[in-house]
Chains A and B, each alone.
Chain A
């Protein structure tokens, strides 16, 4: 199967993919973008979260073929000119990263939350991130990171 799609602003082509491959597999194994993670590959953990045409999706549940001709943004596409995105900085500073396997998905999900709700309350943050599992942190430091991002937004 041959595919064309845009990933992090760049047109990309994929050749020889098997029809059953997920978008996650193609990103990780064919496009050299393993930042999106594969903790469950069954839509339960959020570690594979990416934007597909601006919509937050679990890339493990999207067939690569469904992404043909569409626009994908992954965690690798959030930093600008080598500078960490402010949300990425917040995660680092808050101590929200332990093993970090949940982190890319959480950062993309947080990015999406703050884009539609720049100053979320705690219950809103919890609801928005309820689909992202983390086994290491107990979520406290992740909440701290998102709160810090929200505070920054209210100053802006």
Chain B
């Protein structure tokens, strides 16, 4: 437990780094005054609506807007012909039509737009649009998609990426060999704030867009291209974001809303309904994963072979990165000398899949941790002991050849969750029905209830990998007002609920010793912050704010030296004052600045990474790794198939907790999403059609589903990161799913090779069914 190396910094200031400082947005949020993207309003505003394809695959024979235009209150009906610029968009691969023109590749694909004076009129007009579709048989099986005679959904073919690892001896044999095939379902991010925003046409022919997104600048680039506008005519401001979890990384209504506003010359608001939201953003890739593990009789891993097929759906989105992660993390945080991995991401006519919290790592973790349990069983070993025996640690080589340089406390995290106290077994008398699996809906008296315990550990990269130029920008201004020093921080980092806003404020407080720090609205008038994803913002934008503050401080000390004599290094900042270390003379920051302000902008970059070799997967692709372990305790009604998670315990290394309360919040929320995937969350797709696009039928954990949590936060300090931070958000989502399902296996003795586990799986009705 090496503590983070602390620099000497300005004297303690309230609400700095390491405190649970109050979030700047929490008071407006509890009052209902915080302006989310769906709350925006402008004088004369119109409402936009999207016309979507009812078919997963079809050819468009013709489009007729005449009827739609006759609906009262309608101001515009736009089709692909009205896209002013590039007709395709995409974050990594530009393959997705702004509005479809010849071919429909998924159910819900946008084909036209309507603007009207009332949302109901917009919907009515959308219903009156006549599209003549020629339905085609959808290609929905990802394995079939890569067969040579499969219909090709894109000119580039159906394979988005095939990533490989070839490490060690492919022909090596082992004493004990186990195999398994695992599946994870299509999960939805299910943020609560629907896709929405307000586009306002500007006098200069440009557009101002207020929208909930994860990365303002990548939206800007795509918007400018498709609107046919220079980038300086597109200005985006972050509106309040009601959760993201990856689903706002791709564009949804941004281009559409701007097109309608530019066309009508009026402000236009768009807001998806919950149903439309299920069609309006990408989901977690469903995965089919075949694994073979070989080990010595003593339990040392000899080899891992894996084939992972990720269904990317109709468009690429972040499939290439998801595929890379599934590959790089395919074996888990273990030392494995011989590894053969093939991971494929493919196009199908299923809903497009892309970023969701922990992407690629979530799917693989379910498979490799299930395998570790199976192996422990075959060896007659304790599953935690088997994991600890093979645990990677600092200095270990990944199967990609990359040496793990930062802290890698795999065995330590496992030991900690294992040693945490267990909740009492059994039930209080008299029996409280609410404590039974299924709660008061349980029709038994608890006769068939078994308790199970399961463990899992997972890991994932932090920040962008494989050579991307990953940076964050921050502008910091120090000035005096009313005789008090004040700081303004400006960045484009998207506050999506995770708390990156208060992190920036805390960093500025600590670096400049000034308590009054204001965060300016995130917008595109400052440089890119990169995406609020990949657990990267605390490290990256935190790092940028820190560098900008250091630059401001250096200038302030220079100024002090200029005014008071001596050199800048003679001075230090203490409690809002500049103090000379040579003669004790001090001056307040406010006096020193007078009416001037000091402003500095800095870009922060993490160290360079390199692509994985396409044939062998070798390469230093990653910056750093986050690790978390979970222990799940479940009660299962083995007759009814009902489950109650009794407790989740977790241990995670966060490097440094900038805001401990927020760190816990991330761990709890992330664990809940993993529990959701284990027990209930699945977008059910049949023949390319989503069958459950509502919160009635797509279930996310409620307060009755979430158990109490025990949390052990380690702060091992990554030497490369500002303050030693590591990202927090994704790791908890990775290991909670396999831990819960391991506990279900422990309770039921069933194989449970697919997440989520359904009641029929628990009672064994699906045991031999091949799905």
Taking beta carbons and an 8 Å cutoff, which residues of A are in contact with B?
18, 20, 28-29, 32-42, 44-45, 47, 74-76, 79, 84, 88-89, 91-93, 95, 97-104, 107, 123, 125-127, 129-143
Contact = CB atoms under 8 A, between A and B. Distances in A.
B390 interface: no
B34 interface: yes
Contacts of B38: 34, 37-38
B668 A36 contact: no
Contacts of A139: 668, 672, 701-703, 706
B499 interface: yes
Between A42, A76, A98, the greatest number of chain B beta carbons within 10 A of the residue's beta carbon is seen for A98
Contacts of A107: 30
A95 B665 CA distance: 7
A77 to B, nearest CB: 9
Nearest to A132: B703
Interface string B243-258: 1110000000000000
Interface stretch (B19-27, B596-604, B714-722, B759-767): B19-27
B32 A34 contact: yes
Instruction: Give the bracket for the number of chain B residues in contact with chain A.
Output: 35 or more
A44 B192 CA distance: 11
A28 B47 CA distance: 14
Given A135-B191, A142-B703, 13 more contacts: A34-B36, A35-B32, A39-B695, A95-B665, A97-B26, A101-B36, A101-B192, A131-B702, A133-B700, A135-B189, A135-B192, A136-B243, A140-B709
Contacts of B118: 18
A42 B274 contact: yes
Contact of B706 (A29, A76, A138): A138
B48 to A, nearest CB: 14
B190 A42 contact: no
Contacts, number: 182
B12 interface: no
Nearest to B711: A140
A133 B192 contact: yes
Given A88-B31, A136-B669, A141-B665, A99 B241 contact: yes
A135 B668 contact: no
Contacts of B708: 140
Contacts of A143: 703
Between B194, B240, B243, B673, the greatest number of chain A beta carbons within 10 A of the residue's beta carbon is seen for B243
A138 B672 contact: yes
A68 to B, nearest CB: 19
Given A44-B694, A133-B192, A79 B31 contact: yes
B610 interface: no
A23 to B, nearest CB: 15
A10 to B, nearest CB: 16
Interface of B: 20, 22-23, 25-27, 29-36, 38-39, 41, 118, 120, 189-194, 240-245, 271, 273-274, 432, 434-435, 496-499, 661-662, 664-665, 668-673, 694-696, 700-704, 706, 708-709
A44 B696 contact: yes
Contacts of B39: 28, 34
A139 B648 CA distance: 13
A107 B664 CA distance: 21
Nearest to B33: A35
A42 B32 contact: no
Nearest to A101: B242
Contacts of A29: 41
A139 B669 CA distance: 8
Contacts of B189: 135
A142 B25 CA distance: 16
B192 A45 contact: yes
A101 B709 contact: no
A95 to B, nearest CB: 4
Given A47-B192, A126-B704, A138-B706, A97 B695 contact: no
Contacts of A100: 25-26, 29-30, 34, 240, 242, 497
Contacts of A104: 30, 32
Q: A-side binding surface: helix, strand, loop or mixed?
A: loop
Contacts of A97: 23, 25-26, 29-30
Contacts of A41: 273-274
Q: Which 6 A-B pairs have the closest CB atoms?
A: A35-B32, A99-B497, A100-B29, A138-B668, A101-B242, A138-B672
A132 B41 CA distance: 26
Contact of B703 (A89, A91, A92, A130): A130
Contact of B192 (A37, A127, A141): A37
21 contacts: A34-B36, A37-B192, A39-B192, A39-B193, A41-B274, A42-B696, A45-B192, A99-B192, A99-B242, A101-B193, A101-B242, A104-B30, A125-B703, A131-B702, A132-B702, A133-B192, A135-B190, A138-B709, A139-B703, A141-B665, A141-B668
Nearest to B32: A35
Nearest to B242: A101
A135 B193 CA distance: 10
A15 to B, nearest CB: 14
Contacts of A135: 189-192, 243, 245, 669, 673, 700
A97 B26 CA distance: 6
Given A41-B274, A99-B242, A140 B668 contact: yes
B36 A42 contact: no
A28 B436 CA distance: 40
B434 A20 contact: no
Given A92-B27, A98-B499, A100-B25, A130 B704 contact: yes
A82 B32 CA distance: 13
Given A42-B694, A135-B191, A103 B29 contact: yes
Contacts of B35: 34
Nearest to B23: A97
Contacts of A34: 32, 35-36, 38-39, 41
A24 B36 CA distance: 15
Nearest to A45: B695
Nearest to B497: A99
B36 A37 contact: yes
Contacts of B27: 84, 88, 92
Contacts of B668: 137-141
Nearest to A17: B118
Nearest to B118: A18
B700 A38 contact: no
Nearest to A90: B30
Contacts of B497: 98-101, 136
Between A47, A126, A138, the greatest number of chain B beta carbons within 10 A of the residue's beta carbon is seen for A138
Contacts of B241: 99
Contact of B30 (A47, A92, A98, A138): A92
A114 B20 CA distance: 27
A123 B432 contact: yes
A129 B695 contact: no
Contact of B31 (A32, A84, A129, A142): A84
A134 B665 CA distance: 12
Contacts of A132: 702-703
A131 B673 CA distance: 17
A137 to B, nearest CB: 5
Nearest to A123: B434
Contacts of B703: 125-126, 129-130, 132, 134, 139, 142-143
A44 to B, nearest CB: 4
Given A75-B31, A100-B25, A140-B706, A133 B695 contact: yes
A5 B65 CA distance: 40
Contacts of A140: 664-665, 668, 706, 708-709
Given A98-B498, A123-B432, A84 B695 contact: no
A103 B694 contact: no
Contacts of A79: 31
A38 B192 CA distance: 8
A33 B192 CA distance: 18
B665 A99 contact: no
Nearest to A122: B708
Nearest to A146: B703
A67 to B, nearest CB: 18
